[in-house]
């Protein structure tokens, strides 16, 4: 059985060798994530090169996601661990001074206000602002203590921060990323749709084909969610920082809302963070984790992401196997994956014809119990649009563009094939059906729905739909 929900694996010390990359891709990884918070450009270049070689050797279309660090705030170096006890007062400073804690956010003292909450190390420690000189120094009181070590992350859930979404480090990383054959860029800590627009301008300036995944992990992003979804190419529910920035109990509802909105807008959506967290150290997942993965599949997510489990975990291969097995079993079950079977009005008037055809192709495929929807695509648009209806039929995308092939590896239910195109639409339809039949993906008497454009040589938008019975 072909799996429809895709798997993203974060690459790190546990998986960065070519042999390990090969093994996780063979086990079912569709997208490899490079986290630029932790990986150097030199190492990233080696990993990218290895993935490209593996794709050629195995005839795969594994995509690469470059994840920018974004405005992550951290405490400085601490020689010895520091125990923060409840009620204790501590001083944070944006300059390195004696008897103070250094914080790498230059506008920290200017942005925070008395009474605001400061969270450290994914919320394990909580402090409250007692005073600020609005220049460089802030006095805080420990509400929930713990042991503080170097470079721990800081979250300011109630503070309106003025850090740019794309930091100086991000710009240096982008300069490197935009020179590489990478399909997706993850933008961290998105607050408004303007953040996406800023990154788009940088990409456009470079004349690059890179697509943007907006990572939702700030309360401000929830408020501007509709505009962010419209502007981004895909969205990630980044539950780690989101669960720190907003009350934890709100995250499940936010996840379902984001997934639903993305599917309605035909935007791929990723669920990330702690999906199989216990497998970082243990060879088996907890029952709660299995249920979490299963429910994310049922919600209709395009892809599920592994983080520390595959980057630094002890059992990366077992983790990928576990996620693949859960996905397959859920997809085989009778539990419905989120669907949008009724055509939705399009906001893109230029694509109204192709969107109507994609919607009705899904409807016809359900009526006829078609085995496949075959999409000949030049931009990937018709495959993504068709996917958003979450049809029971498999979506097979044929394109001459290798970048598009890799990009579609993130998209639910889509499997891509290289095809340089027939001289006519009829020839294209015939050849794609024959190819799938030869590769035993469809068989005699199966119904298939073809999506194509006419005339074929113009490579225009989808304007043809044909229902066929395989001979």
Phi, psi of 361 (to 5 degrees): -60, -40
Phi-psi region of 413 (alpha: psi -120 to 50; beta: other; left: phi over 0): left
Nearest residue to 191 via CA among 157, 216, 226, 158: 216
In this structure, the dihedral spanned by the alpha carbons of residues 232, 233, 239 and 241, taken in order and rounded to 10 degrees, is -50
Which residues lie below 8 Å from residue 325, measured CB to CB, with a gap of 6+? Answer: none
- Report CA 155 to chain centroid distance, whole Å: 22
- 168-177 helix and 41-58 helix, angle to the nearest 10 degrees: 30
Which residue's structure tokens are 């109204």?
A: 352
Pairing of strands 125-132, 31-35: unpaired
Coil, strand, or helix at residue 280? helix
Q: How far apart are CA 215 and CA 237, in angstroms?
A: 6
Residue 3 designated active-site: no
* CA neighbours closer than 13 Å in the CB half-sphere of residue 366: 14
Handedness of CA 186, 191, 193, 196 (dihedral sign): negative
CB atoms within 10 A of CB 226: 11
Per-residue tokens: 60: 């795969």
Q: Which burial class, exposed, middle or buried, applies to 204 when counting CB atoms under 10 A from its CB (0-12, 13-18, 19+)?
A: exposed
Residues 6 or more apart from 149 whose CB is under 8 A from it? Answer: 78, 81, 82
Single out the catalytic residue among 43, 74, 200, 339.
74
Residue 66 Cα distances to 34, 69, 148, 214, 433, angstroms: 5, 10, 30, 12, 35
* Active-site entry in 94, 273, 310, 377: 273
The answer to whether the CB of 142 falls within 8 A of the CB of 86 is yes
Give strand pairing partners of 211.
184
Query: Which residue out of 3, 4, 33, 385 is catalytically annotated?
Result: 33
Contact 422, 436 (CB under 8 A): no
From the candidates 215, 267, 318, 390, give the one annotated as an active-site residue: 215
Decide if 134 is catalytic.
no
**Cα 196 to Cα 67: distance, rounded to the nearest angstrom:** 14
Residue 457 burial (CB count, 10 A): 12
Which residues pair with residue 466 across a beta bridge?
450
**Helix H segments across 333-424?**
352-368, 381-387, 402-407
98 catalytic? Reply is no
Known catalytic membership, residue 339: no
Closest listed residue to residue 256, CA positions, set 214, 223, 230, 292: 292
Active-site residue set: 33, 74, 215, 273
């Amino acid at each position: 059985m072909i799996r429809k929900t895709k798997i993203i694996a974060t690459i790190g010390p546990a998986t960065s060798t070519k042999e390990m990359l090969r093994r996780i891709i063979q086990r079912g990884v569709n997208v490899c994530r490079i986290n630029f918070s932790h990986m150097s450009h030199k190492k990233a270049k080696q990993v990218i090169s290895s993935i490209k070689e593996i794709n050629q050797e195995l005839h795969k279309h594994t995509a690469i996601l470059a994840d920018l660090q974004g405005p992550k705030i951290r405490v400085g170096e601490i020689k010895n661990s520091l125990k923060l006890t409840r009620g204790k007062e501590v001083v944070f400073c944006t300059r390195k001074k004696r008897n103070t804690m250094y914080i790498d956010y230059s506008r920290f003292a200017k942005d925070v206000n008395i009474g605001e909450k400061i969270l450290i190390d994914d919320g394990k420690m909580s402090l409250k602002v007692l005073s600020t000189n609005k220049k460089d120094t802030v006095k805080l009181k420990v509400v929930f203590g713990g042991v503080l070590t170097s470079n721990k992350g800081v979250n300011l859930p109630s503070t309106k921060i003025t850090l740019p979404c794309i930091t100086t480090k991000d710009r240096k990383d982008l300069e490197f990323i935009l020179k590489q054959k990478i399909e997706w860029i993850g933008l961290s800590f998105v607050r408004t749709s303007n953040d996406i627009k800023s990154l788009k301008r940088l990409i456009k300036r470079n004349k690059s084909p890179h697509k943007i995944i907006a990572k939702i992990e700030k309360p401000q992003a929830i408020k501007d969610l509709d505009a962010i979804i419209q502007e981004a190419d895909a969205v990630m529910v980044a539950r780690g920082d989101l669960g720190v920035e907003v009350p934890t109990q709100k995250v499940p509802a936010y996840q379902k809302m984001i997934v639903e909105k993305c599917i309605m807008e035909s935007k791929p959506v990723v669920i990330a963070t702690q999906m199989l967290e216990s497998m970082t150290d243990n060879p088996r997942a907890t029952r709660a984790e299995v249920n979490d993965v299963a429910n994310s599949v049922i919600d209709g997510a395009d892809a599920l992401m592994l983080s520390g489990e595959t980057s630094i975990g002890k059992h990366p291969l077992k983790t990928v196997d576990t996620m693949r097995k859960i996905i397959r079993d859920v997809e085989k079950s009778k539990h419905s994956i989120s669907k949008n079977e009724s055509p939705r009005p399009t906001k893109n008037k230029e694509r109204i014809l192709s969107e109507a055809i994609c919607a009705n192709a899904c409807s016809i495929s359900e009526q006829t119990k078609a085995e496949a929807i075959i999409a000949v695509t030049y931009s990937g648009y018709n495959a993504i649009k068709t996917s958003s209806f979450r049809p029971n039929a498999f979506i097979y995308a044929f394109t001459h563009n290798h970048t598009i092939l890799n990009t579609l590896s993130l998209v639910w239910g889509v499997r891509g094939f290289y095809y340089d195109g027939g001289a006519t639409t009829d020839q294209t339809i015939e050849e794609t059906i024959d190819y799938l039949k030869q590769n035993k993906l469809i068989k005699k008497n199966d119904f298939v729905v073809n999506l194509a454009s006419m005339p074929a040589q113009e490579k225009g938008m989808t304007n043809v739909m044909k229902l066929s019975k395989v001979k």
